[in-house]
Structure 1
Amino acid sequence: MADKLCWLGHAFFEIETSAGQNILIDPFWEDNPAAGSRPDHGDIILITHDHFDHCDNLAEFLAADGIIVGQPEVLNKIRAGSGESLQEENFVLAGSGMNIGGTVNVKDVDITMVQAFHSSDAGSPAGYIIQTPEGKTFYHAGDTGIFGGMDVLGDIYDIDIAMLPIGSVFTMDPKQAAHAVKLLQPETAVPMHYGTFEVLVQSADEFCRLVARKMQDVEVMAIEPGETIEC
């Protein structure tokens, strides 16, 4: 069996591992105009930063024994706003959180938090390297502009699938995101954070064209919200 990746619109993804873990990244459902199919639950939920379009509806997606992964300040904010619905044991490392550069093993999935360049009300923005029991490596960049350290991530990790924002205004535009692919050198690039709102880039066409020109050996999969690919 293979791992599966489903884009749920905006920066919201679900990874279903062949070992049975369900990983959700940046849940944004109720007010997401580009929402795809609704996921059932998340055994692990990763939060890149605390903007509403990356952590809305979090509690309703969390499995009963689920774990939320994020920075200490972000987790404190989420817990404070959850009332009694979320407890210390629902957060990574008994509520302590993790930070950039660190790796934790959650339910047999290795999760490394890496830097991102954006803004956040609490803590600082981040991305994630996710290594599943199947041996696949996923990179979710979070909301970010391009940065030189992406080539270091590409050197350290053998990235199978990179999920990269291309929508401009708040993140990389297609030109920067295509160059990010060149730095990261993944096997497959999946564009995200576009088409959700009118102000964002509406199509992945330019990104696909630029990647094809810069990195012909990288496959771009511009999937639709709700579409699933095998990895």
Structure 2
Amino acid sequence: MLQFSYYGHSCFQLNDGTHKVLTDPFLTGNPTAAISAEKVEADTILLSHAHGDHFGDAQAIAERTGADVVGVPEVLGLLRLPGAKLHGMNLGGTLSLPFGSVRMVLARHSSGVAGGCACGYIIRMGGKTVYFAGDTAIFSDMKFLGERDAIDYAMLPIGDNYTMGPEDAALAAKWLGAKHVIPIHYNTWPMIAQNPEEFKKLCEAASDAKVTVVQPGESIELV
């Protein structure tokens, strides 16, 4: 069993019943946040890059929960945590963790810190393969990601302006060969306002993926 809980923007938690993985914990100052930084739980935090709407509350949550934090070294260098809690990686690397593993993959986006790069993650947990795209434009190597791994769920940004929009995200789902897609990174502010139901129609017409729209504060089981 693997549970997905959406907390708004690009922040979600994967929970296999024993371990809790949290992505890009921007909660304080997030108008769509469905939980506070003081209450969210995590054993591992995955950071895709250092922009404030992704790096967010990583320091405070890691201090409170004792979570390990994964990211590129330049992003981790912004944190004031014991070295044993920081797991630096770079593109193409795989890290084994108590819940399974993560592989750091390319994202086409700026990093928010000098010398760093933005990334996404292929997460193996609870018998599922989950692709967290982070902030990204569409890029042709998404076809390779789909060939490299049988992706059960792809968490794709659809907000446009800062990331790919609905049309490109629908094409990305096709290239990835994902069985399921959950849209993220939209409706936080007017600049990235989107209708997720329209994206669902677009994506399901363009690919074999089934789209599940999860509202902030909702949880679903990844089947």
- TM-score normalized by the length of structure 1: 0.90
Name the counterpart of 1:83.
none
Match status 1:194 vs 2:186: yes
Among 116, 139, 143, the alignment partner of 1:151 is: 143
Q: Distance in 2 between matches of 1:48 and 1:23?
A: 13
How large is the Cα RMSD of the aligned pairs? 1.3
Q: Distance in 2 between matches of 1:42 and 1:59?
A: 12
* Paired AA for residue 58 in structure 1: A
Q: Check whether the contact 1:166–1:201 (CA below 8 A) recurs between aligned residues.
A: no
Among 135, 138, 141, the alignment partner of 2:130 is: 138
**Tell me, which stretches of 5 or more residues in structure 2 are unaligned?**
none
* Paired AA for residue 182 in structure 1: K
Q: Distance in 2 between matches of 1:158 and 1:174?
A: 22
User: How far has the Cα of 1:202 moved from its partner?
Assistant: 2.9
User: How far has the Cα of 1:109 moved from its partner?
Assistant: 2.0
Aligned residues: 217
**Tell me, which stretches of 5 or more residues in structure 1 are unaligned?**
80-85
User: How far has the Cα of 1:64 moved from its partner?
Assistant: 4.3
Among 77, 91, 99, the alignment partner of 1:100 is: 91
Among 190, 197, 209, the alignment partner of 1:205 is: 197
User: How far has the Cα of 1:171 moved from its partner?
Assistant: 0.2
User: How far has the Cα of 1:40 moved from its partner?
Assistant: 3.0
Q: Check whether the contact 1:99–1:113 (CA below 8 A) recurs between aligned residues.
A: yes
Among 23, 26, 40, the alignment partner of 1:25 is: 23
Q: Distance in 2 between matches of 1:101 and 1:154?
A: 15
User: How far has the Cα of 1:32 moved from its partner?
Assistant: 0.4
Among 175, 192, 195, the alignment partner of 1:183 is: 175
Q: Distance in 2 between matches of 1:27 and 1:104?
A: 20
Name the counterpart of 1:66.
67
Name the CA shift for 1:12/1:90 in 2 (closer, same or farther; >3 Å).
same
Q: Check whether the contact 2:42–2:65 (CA below 8 A) recurs between aligned residues.
A: no
* Paired AA for residue 78 in structure 1: L
Give the fraction of aligned pairs with identical amino acids, expressed as a percent.
40
- TM-score normalized by the length of structure 2: 0.93
Aligned to 1:13, the other structure's residue is in SS state strand
Q: How does 1:47-66 map to 2 (within 5 A)?
A: 47-62=47-62, 64-66=65-67
Name the counterpart of 1:91.
86
Q: Distance in 2 between matches of 1:76 and 1:37?
A: 26
